[in-house]
């Protein structure tokens, strides 16, 4: 294998470890159920995010986001039903004793501490306040709950917790302005957002393109192999020696892969910080450049065949085609621009382009040789996904997968190994996202199905590819249904995708009596010319 091909496979193999973060979620969950704070009469609200829109002297100004309390009146969901209400500071500021000033339907701002939340709410309501804004003493939001022994819970005003920085801004507004008012409302997230539809189509399209490219390459290799057989060449190059640039997964590596991915996930969780995310961005850009370059060269070589077939020797990299040299600067500049401007509103487009190109390249280079390996790989990934999304909460007191995917401890919007699309009709904004692994790992099995269909000369109806593709689409669709039923809480996509995709393949193979061939060899028997040795045909 030449050094360029070795470098390429090395980069993609490293990327596989990174794309093992199998996670589907929509950012910005609104409802937060909390089993540690059980509901009881007078204290049974869901924890909802609340928009606090400010107005200074009648002009719309900054908007803050708080979290509603377990107690008190529920907050209206529509902006048109939310009144603009004058806001004042409590006196005393902690609102732990009856207020010295009577209020006439004002929203009162109080500081956290010195007494229970419900005591503050009762004092504010007794003074005539229409709502209570409690400023936290930290930057994070805090869920306001009721103590087990509390009984005075007949509170008829809403209570909202705001972070410390929002409180500081509100205080400056009140000092520098003659009149400050606020609107409090908690808009509901739509059941289905167009972003999820586009993300579903993106995942389907990525696997479709990668599968056809992989199957076309496999058929070309098979045709070339058969041509050599017909010519009765004594030394026939093996297709499994790595010279073709294809890496085949075996059963042991499929099992080890999941353990390595788990170890890598824990490292990400423990070391998650700004600098570590920056390191992941660099690695993602390297893999993205390789993927984008591979895809563009394969596409453009149809029109610039001469440039694709002409090579020049480059130190340390070996022979490189002129077409690759021409495409590489564009790919590098594209990745660098995305890395520099990835905080901009449209940066998700560049991330998706690099991510899709990387996934397609991995599916082109890495192959599942048979159904046995595919079953082991997806079964291990199935357990891995469930463990790190759900079971890890018992060990780490939070979902490790969710924390890593969101980049909660890094101060950034999450790791780049995700495809994402902004939620277009969601009042809370955020992104619908899907982990690379939710496309890549099922894609390995689906690409294998199409390679087998083409080599066996099966039609779409009698083959396995179309049914595996439909099963994947249904599994991903069920994932989004579960996501919405769970109020936006992250779901392990492979929990739904693997039973659909793998179950369909195994069921069809058993019904068609192809299970043994698919399970062991992974490719149909090919006729061997009578003048060629049998061992050459089996290579």
Asked if 479 and 23 count as a contact pair (C-beta separation under 8 A), the reply is no
Catalytic residue among 111, 193, 385, 413: 385
Tens digits of per-residue pLDDT, 155-172?
Answer: 999 999 999 888 889 888
- C-alpha distance from residue 319 to each of 2, 204, 217, 314 (Å): 8, 35, 21, 6
pLDDT in tens, the chain (539 residues): 444 544 555 555 455 444 444 444 443 443 344 555 566 788 888 888 899 999 898 888 889 989 998 899 999 888 888 888 999 999 899 999 999 888 888 999 999 988 989 999 999 999 999 999 999 988 777 888 888 888 888 899 999 999 988 888 988 888 887 788 999 999 987 777 888 899 999 999 999 999 999 999 888 877 776 776 666 555 544 444 444 568 888 899 888 888 888 888 888 788 777 787 888 888 889 889 989 999 999 899 888 888 877 878 777 767 788 888 899 999 999 999 999 999 888 999 999 999 999 999 989 888 999 999 999 999 999 998 888 888 888 888 788 887 777 666 555 566 788 899 998 888 888 888 888 889 999 999 999 999 999 988 888 888 999 999 999 999 999 988 887 776 656 678 888 999 999 999 999 999 988 889 999 988 776 555 444 444 445 44
- Any catalytic annotation for residue 29? no
- Burial call 371-396: b when 16+ CB within 10 Å, e when fewer: bbbbbbbbbbbbbbbbbbbeebeeee
Beta bridge partners of 132: 108, 159
- Find how far residue 361's CA is from the centre of its chain: 19
Per-residue DSSP letter, 32: B
Fold of 42-185: Glucose Oxidase; domain 1 (3.50.30)
> How would DSSP label each residue in 52-79?
EEEEETTEEEEEEEEEE-SSSSPPPS-G
- Any catalytic annotation for residue 385? yes
Domain boundaries, the chain: 42-185, 194-230+244-521
- Burial call 249-287: b when 16+ CB within 10 Å, e when fewer: beeeebeebbeebbeebeebbeebeeebbeebbebbbbb
Q: Which are the contacts of 226, defined by CB distance < 8 A and separation ≥ 6? A: 526
Burial class (CB in 10 A: 0-12, 13-18, 19+), 495: buried
Catalytic residue among 106, 111, 413, 438: 438
Query: Hunting for tokens 């869920």 — which residue is that?
Result: 143
**DSSP-derived 3-state class of residue 50:** strand
**DSSP-derived 3-state class of residue 42:** coil
Give the number of other Cβ atoms within 10 Å of residue 113's Cβ: 13
């Amino acid at each position: 294998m030449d050094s360029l091909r070795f470098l390429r496979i090395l980069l993609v193999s490293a990327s596989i470890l990174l794309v093992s973060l199998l996670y589907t979620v929509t950012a910005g969950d609104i409802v937060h159920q909390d089993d540690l704070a059980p509901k009881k009469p007078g204290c049974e609200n869901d924890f909802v995010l609340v928009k606090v829109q400010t107005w200074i002297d009648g002009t719309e100004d900054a908007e803050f986001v708080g979290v509603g309390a377990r107690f008190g009146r529920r907050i209206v969901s529509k902006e048109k039903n939310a009144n603009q209400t004058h806001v004042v500071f409590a006196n005393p500021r902690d609102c732990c004793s009856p207020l010295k000033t009577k209020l006439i339907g004002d929203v009162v701002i109080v500081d956290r501490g010195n007494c229970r939340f419900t005591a503050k709410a009762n004092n504010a309501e007794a003074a005539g306040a229409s709502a209570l804004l409690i400023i936290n003493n930290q930057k994070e939001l805090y869920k306001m709950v009721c103590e087990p022994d509390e009984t005075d819970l007949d509170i008829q005003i809403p209570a909202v917790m705001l972070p410390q920085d929002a409180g500081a801004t509100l205080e400056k507004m009140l000092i520098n302005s003659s009149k400050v008012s606020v609107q409090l409302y908690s808009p509901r997230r739509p059941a289905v957002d167009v972003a999820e539809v586009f993300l579903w189509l993106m995942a389907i399209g990525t696997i479709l393109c990668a599968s056809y490219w992989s199957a076309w390459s496999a058929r070309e290799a098979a045709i070339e192999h058969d041509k050599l057989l017909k010519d009765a060449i004594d030394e026939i190059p093996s297709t499994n020696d790595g010279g073709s640039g294809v890496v085949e997964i075996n059963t042991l590596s499929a099992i080890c892969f999941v353990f390595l991915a788990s170890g890598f996930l824990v490292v990400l969780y423990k070391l998650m910080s700004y600098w570590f995310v920056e390191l992941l961005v660099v690695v993602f850009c390297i893999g993205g450049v390789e993927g984008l370059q591979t895809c563009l060269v394969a596409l453009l070589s149809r029109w610039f065949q001469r440039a694709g077939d002409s090579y020049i020797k480059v130190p340390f990299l070996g022979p490189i085609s002129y077409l690759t040299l021409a495409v590489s600067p564009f790919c590098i500049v594209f990745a660098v621009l995305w890395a520099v401007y990835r905080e901009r509103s449209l940066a998700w487009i560049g991330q998706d382009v690099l991510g899709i190109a990387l996934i397609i390249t991995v599916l082109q280079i890495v192959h599942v040789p048979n159904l046995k390996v595919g079953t082991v790989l997806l079964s291990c990934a199935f357990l891995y996904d469930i463990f790190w999304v759900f079971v890890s909460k018992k060990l780490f007191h939070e979902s490790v997968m969710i924390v890593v995917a969101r980049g909660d401890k890094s101060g950034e919007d999450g790791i780049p190994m995700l495809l994402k699309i902004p939620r277009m009709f969601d009042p809370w904004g955020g992104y619908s996202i899907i982990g690379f692994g939710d496309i890549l790992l099922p894609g390995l099995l689906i690409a294998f199905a199409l390679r087998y269909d083409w080599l066996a000369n099966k039609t779409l109806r009698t083959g396995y590819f179309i049914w595996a593709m439909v099963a994947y689409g249904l599994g991903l669709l069920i994932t989004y249904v579960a996501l919405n039923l769970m109020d936006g809480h992250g779901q392990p996509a492979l929990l739904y995708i693997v039973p659909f995709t793998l179950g369909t393949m195994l069921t069809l193979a058993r019904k068609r009596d192809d299970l043994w061939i698919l399970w062991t060899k992974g490719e149909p028997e090919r006729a061997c010319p009578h003048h060629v040795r049998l061992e050459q045909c089996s290579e």
